[in-house]
Amino acid sequence: MIRFSINCLNNDVFVYIMTTKNVNWTYGEFLSDNVPELKAWQCEELVKLMHEQNTLPFIARYRQQKIGNVDVSVLRQCFMLYEKAKYTFFDYDVQMVKRKIDKTVGSAVKSLQEKHKGDEATSTSLIDELKSAKSMEDVNLVKSKCGIYSKLTSYERAIEAGLKEPAIFIMNSGKPVDLLKYISSNFPNKLSVKEGIIDIIAKEIWMQDETQNFIKELLSQKGANVQVEVKRVAKRRSVVNSKDAKMKNSENFAAYFDFCKYLNAIKAHQILAINRGVSCAFLKKMITLPLKWKSQFVTVCQENLRKGKKAISEIERDAIEKCFNEIADKYLCRCLWYSALNNATKVAEMEALECFSRNLKDMLLVKPLKGCSILGIDPGFAAGCKYAMISSTGDVIDTGKIFLRSPSQKEDQVLMKRLCDLMVQTKCENIAIGNGTGSQQAQQLISDLIKSNFFAPLSVKFCIVSEAGSSRYSISKVGCDDLPGLDPIYRSAVSIARRVLDPLSEYIKIDPKHVGIGMYQHDLAKTELTAVRDSVFEECVSFVGVNLNTCSSQLLQHVSGLGKQKAEAIIKHRAKLGQFRNRKQLLQINGIGQHVYKMCCGFLRIYAAELNEQRQIGTLKRKDSKYMDVDALDATSIHPETYEIVDKLLNHLKLDRMDLLRAEARDVVVRFGKNGENLAKFSDNYHIDMDTLNFIISNIEKYGNDDIRDDFNGWTFVESVNTFDSLSVGSILIGTVRNIAPFGAFVDIGVGVDGMLNSNAIGGIPLHINQQVRVSVSKIDEERNRIKQSVSQSVFGAKRFDTSVETVQRVGFDGTAVWGRLNRSDEQPSDRRLTNVEQHSHDGVPLSEKSQHQQRERQVAARQVFGPFEHHFGATLVVQSHLGQPDRLFPVAERLQIATSVQLLVDQAQEPDAVEQTSGGDPIGRDELDRAATAGRRMAVVSGQQASLETVFVVGVGVGGIGGFGQQQFHRRVRLTEQHQRGDVVARLAPTSGAQAQTAAQRSPFDSSELARREQIVETVRQSDRLVRQRFERVLDDGPEIHFPLFAQQLGN
């Protein structure tokens, strides 16, 4: 749980913290500089909310209007930046660094004022630079410019010896001086005098604004031209040939034994792998500056020194040389090492933390298996397979063992009979098997028992569950408190079963390093990992909601605003005084004041139907004081601060809160909310914003059934098992995603080893933990026990609460399948969905300015053409012209609004992704269609009518970009931030009812002959369906395949 060190909300303290006396920037400006997704005003508002100790879930759910609808992941970044944690966004820890900078600047200002007593202008200028510094690098840069160091440098010794005068003379005139005149005790000969003058000139060159600007420009490239070289550390032959496990692990770093790449081209997982190899003494890394930097530096310095004179003296050339060498050795390399390289490491660690948080969120929000008993099995050989039967509420019913290698067949039969009787007695049909040692054999055993009807008359199935952390849980204090009196060997089996019953409640008990998700989480600081875990726990627990009368202390302590002590106080209060009847009773507990109540109450649930008086609720008398304390709104996500608005709405409909316990009354509210005109009128009359009203009505509509996990992937149960030996290249299997990293996903196909699904094979399809995916085995490494996979056929997954894509299915004009790839599933603004293109590079070499300019032009074109279409209709159609002529693009939104049809030809004879397009005003003739079919072409029809948003539909074929950009993407495989891939087809649709379709047909602008002609075209399309399947299967060889719904009654609707 995220907490703050600020305990006072006094405005004076707030001003002091926000604007300290020695620096002139605020935390809002800091966030704005480091979180590009947010605008300045959003950062300022967010900082105010954080300062007031508002929690992340509270802001995300109830204060989005103040901050402009910020994504939760961005909010988490901002919290991490603001907080006193070591986890940082780039190079900073906002409070620690600001205090350090503030202290350093304060002492530096005093030293500077003493050093420049007679020079007010210089002193003021340098002090302003110090106060504007936002990093220690900036502070050190100004300090070096001022000469503020404790030790006497060679430059200062030369100044004391009076060598500044000849040095300035040489710089101004370019003429030589008599070095013998300046010999002293500290500089006893001509050579030492020359060295002293060179030191002064080098320092003067360093202090010039042009030099400083040039150095900053080099560092601002963030390692774009800096090479990182990694070599294998040489080992003694005896060590190399050793069979020691640690040395054997050195082969894990084989890809980095001779590695050299530009710093900005190294991916996050590569940086973390290199760092781990260095820490294990298998690798060493070096940094190499570009050779051209020196020539550029010399050119800049010579141009500055040449001003006002004809030539540069030899001593000045030596000074430039020394200046660069000192800068390179003492500043550039150090800054790049500690700034660019460390910054890259911090960014990689941040990506690892983000990866961990995404996977953890998916794992916690897996759809629970409710209302049934579950048998959990912790597989093992020597000690046997421990099992535990739990009830639908998670209580332990019985425990026992079965053996994979039983020494006695008779004993084995007795144990199996006991297990069968337990399954039949509890009517348990669901078995959860851990994926640890012996899992494959345990799966085979259960599968054989199912095939032999051992559990008859039950229809038993099993699923595979990650048992990561279960063994540690069984001997931990949490495990002992949770299952007192139970033998520790069975606690892991209970944990495995409960992970299926309620993943959220069970995974919060596991140490973050041992949950088995993310990448390189063992290399991350435990404080950072714990902070991210607690933040995700708090978010998930709060958004799912907690039943205040049944929840455990472990779950309750992760609710927004609460902690371990407050959660235990609530549990004690509940045990002493009985069930909570309303949320306000929380204020009676010591330690829960108005602010804590405000943070937590919206995420706690009290269901009136579950109270002891539930039998009397149906005959409730409104004026009976005994029951007036029960509040129906306490079962929703509606915050008590908006209860007055709900009362106004209910009064308007002649209802009260307790009426919401009846479905009929809730239907009245929902129908009123769906009437946009009445709702808008109510909003105007009572001065209530529409967002608040929609939120209230949405919660009333989902009353008692608002678990967001219902929209997530559930558990996959099977009856049979695969084996590693049965695999072969080309085998197609259905697997379950277990872990997702930036470089790919790990898919469990039931053979005891998770297969690797490379990110290139995924093709931009968003995957999630526990999602089913059909994969094809592309490589088997028996020696290393590894499997490489590619996606085959469909990616199956439930609709998620944070996406806007309807569940994909196989539907066509009349059942004919339409094949394509899902392109995106977000609802971001159109200018960010289609046109957010990275500065591409190939093999680490950045694109030229001309190429970048061409990209920007294409981005503008894409925004102008496709932006309105995405924004208004929520679907995407990106078309590639095979002629590469941007002027052939047309405004899709306009043509859909006037019920025109768009026809696309896929030309296999030219570029595989090439598409030719014509407008509906110039339809393709039958003869042209026949010629196209003969040439191996395939036509797909895109039609739409804006009778209502539900009747708009779009199909796109052969996407890739705009103009020549798509060809570049196909040939060079340029990666876009939005994961566009060749062959993408995008559509987000809703079913069209028969009445809507008939209305749309009546509004069609086409006459009967035109409709008949177009129906013939569609019939031709249906007849050549085999061609299109072959076509798209070839296009999608390296990417997943999606079936999406297309609803159309006749062409032109």
Domain housing 898: 819-840+848-1043
Q: Smallest Cα–Cα separation from 156: which of 208, 112, 199, 113? A: 199
Domain total in the chain: 5
- The single-letter DSSP state of residue 718 is B
Residues 785 and 723 in one domain: yes
Residue 237 has pLDDT above 60, yes or no: no
Residues 412 and 432 in one domain: yes
Residues 356 and 389 in one domain: no
Residue in the structure block whose two tokens are 């507990």: 589
Among 18-22, 303-307, 664-668, the range of highest mean pLDDT: 664-668
Residues 756 and 836 in one domain: no
Binning pLDDT at 50, 70 and 90, where does residue 980 land?
A: very low
Question: pLDDT digit string (tens) for 219-236?
Answer: 666 555 667 777 777 654
Question: In this structure, is residue 179 part of a structural domain?
Answer: no
Instruction: Give the residue from 362, 393, 417 where a domain finishes.
Output: 362
Residues 1033 and 929 in one domain: yes
Question: pLDDT digit string (tens) for 560-618?
Answer: 888 888 999 999 998 888 888 889 889 888 888 898 999 888 889 888 877 765 434 44
What is the mean predicted confidence (pLDDT) over 168-181? 78
Choice between 1046 and 292, residue whose per-residue pLDDT is larger: 292
Residue in the structure block whose two tokens are 């907490």: 3
Instruction: Give the residue from 90, 109, 125 where a domain finishes.
Output: 90
Residue 723 has pLDDT above 60, yes or no: yes
Give the integer Cα–Cα distance in Å for 633 and 645.
12
657 with 617: CB under 8 angstroms?
no
Least confident span in 416-420, 508-512, 904-908, 969-973 = 969-973
Identify the three-state secondary structure at position 176: coil
Instruction: Give the residue from 73, 90, 107 where a domain finishes.
Output: 90
Least confident span in 73-82, 110-119, 382-391 = 110-119
Q: What pLDDT was estimated at residue 494?
A: 92
Q: What pLDDT was estimated at residue 402?
A: 86
Residue 167 has pLDDT above 60, yes or no: yes
Question: pLDDT digit string (tens) for 623-664?
Answer: 444 435 788 888 888 899 889 999 988 998 888 888 888 888
Mean pLDDT in the chain?
65
Burial letters for 947-972: b for 16+ Cβ neighbours within 10 Å, e otherwise?
beeebbbbbbbbbbbbbbbbbbbbee
C-alpha 433 chain-centroid distance = 29
Q: Smallest Cα–Cα separation from 504: which of 358, 353, 367, 706? A: 367
Give the integer Cα–Cα distance in Å for 381 and 441.
9
Question: In this structure, is residue 422 part of a structural domain?
Answer: yes
Give the integer Cα–Cα distance in Å for 965 and 976.
11
Choice between 889 and 794, residue whose per-residue pLDDT is larger: 794
Give the integer Cα–Cα distance in Å for 171 and 164.
10
What is the mean predicted confidence (pLDDT) over 677-696? 86
Question: pLDDT digit string (tens) for 357-394?
Answer: 888 888 888 888 888 899 999 988 878 889 999 998 88
- The single-letter DSSP state of residue 599 is H
Q: Smallest Cα–Cα separation from 1014: which of 913, 899, 906, 936? A: 899
pTM for this model (two decimals): 0.61
831 with 863: CB under 8 angstroms?
yes
Question: pLDDT digit string (tens) for 334-353?
Answer: 666 666 677 778 888 888 88
Residues 348 and 393 in one domain: no
Identify the three-state secondary structure at position 840: coil
- The single-letter DSSP state of residue 186 is S
Least confident span in 47-51, 64-68, 297-301, 936-940 = 936-940
Give the integer Cα–Cα distance in Å for 225 and 1026.
51
Question: In this structure, is residue 603 part of a structural domain?
Answer: no
Residues 724 and 787 in one domain: yes
The residue type at 1042? I
Residue 110 has pLDDT above 70, yes or no: no
Question: In this structure, is residue 56 part of a structural domain?
Answer: yes
According to DSSP, the β-strands at 461-465 and 430-434 are: parallel
What is the mean predicted confidence (pLDDT) over 276-283? 82
Residue 731 has pLDDT above 50, yes or no: yes
- Number of CB atoms found within 10 A of residue 190's CB: 13
Question: In this structure, is residue 683 part of a structural domain?
Answer: no
The residue type at 701? E
Helix axes 268-279, 342-364, angle to 10 degrees: 110
Residue 918 has pLDDT above 80, yes or no: no
Long-range contacts of 574-581 (CB under 8 A, 24+ apart): 574/548, 574/549, 578/612, 579/549, 579/611, 579/612, 580/548, 580/549, 580/606, 581/606, 581/611, 581/629, 581/630
Q: What pLDDT was estimated at residue 978?
A: 30
Tokens standing for 89?
């966004």
Residues 325 and 472 in one domain: no
C-alpha 594 chain-centroid distance = 34
Residues 323 and 452 in one domain: no
Entry field: residues in the chain? 1053
Q: What pLDDT was estimated at residue 786?
A: 64
Give the integer Cα–Cα distance in Å for 789 and 904.
33
394 with 502: CB under 8 angstroms?
yes
Long-range contacts of 74-77 (CB under 8 A, 24+ apart): 74/35, 74/37, 74/38, 75/46, 76/357, 76/532, 76/535, 76/539, 77/35
Is residue 398 within a helix (H) or strand (E), and if so which, with residue range? strand 396-402
Choice between 448 and 249, residue whose per-residue pLDDT is larger: 448
Strand partners, 881: 915
Residues 930 and 788 in one domain: no
Q: What pLDDT was estimated at residue 389?
A: 92
Strand partners, 1043: 819
Q: What pLDDT was estimated at residue 459?
A: 87
C-alpha 991 chain-centroid distance = 31
Q: Smallest Cα–Cα separation from 731: which of 794, 796, 795, 789? A: 789
Identify the three-state secondary structure at position 745: strand
Residue in the structure block whose two tokens are 């931990």: 476
Q: What pLDDT was estimated at residue 824?
A: 30
Residue in the structure block whose two tokens are 């930046």: 81
339 with 218: CB under 8 angstroms?
no
Report DSSP letters for 850-906, one per residue.
Answer: HHHHHHHHHHHHHHHHHHHHHHHHS------BTT--GGG---HHHHHHTT-EEEEEE
Residues 755 and 861 in one domain: no
| Percent of the chain predicted with pLDDT > 90 | 2
Residues 893 and 1007 in one domain: yes
Give the integer Cα–Cα distance in Å for 984 and 980.
7
Binning pLDDT at 50, 70 and 90, where does residue 144 land?
A: low
Q: What pLDDT was estimated at residue 555?
A: 87
Question: In this structure, is residue 602 part of a structural domain?
Answer: no
Q: Smallest Cα–Cα separation from 782: which of 722, 720, 728, 735? A: 728
Q: Smallest Cα–Cα separation from 960: which of 860, 865, 844, 877? A: 877
Residue 147 has pLDDT above 80, yes or no: no
Question: In this structure, is residue 981 part of a structural domain?
Answer: yes
Least confident span in 241-250, 522-531, 657-666 = 241-250
Question: In this structure, is residue 898 part of a structural domain?
Answer: yes
Is residue 272 within a helix (H) or strand (E), and if so which, with residue range? helix 268-279
For residue 624, is it left (φ>0), alpha (ψ between -120 and 50) or beta?
beta
CATH assignment at residue 779: 2.40.50.140
CATH assignment at residue 394: 3.30.420.140
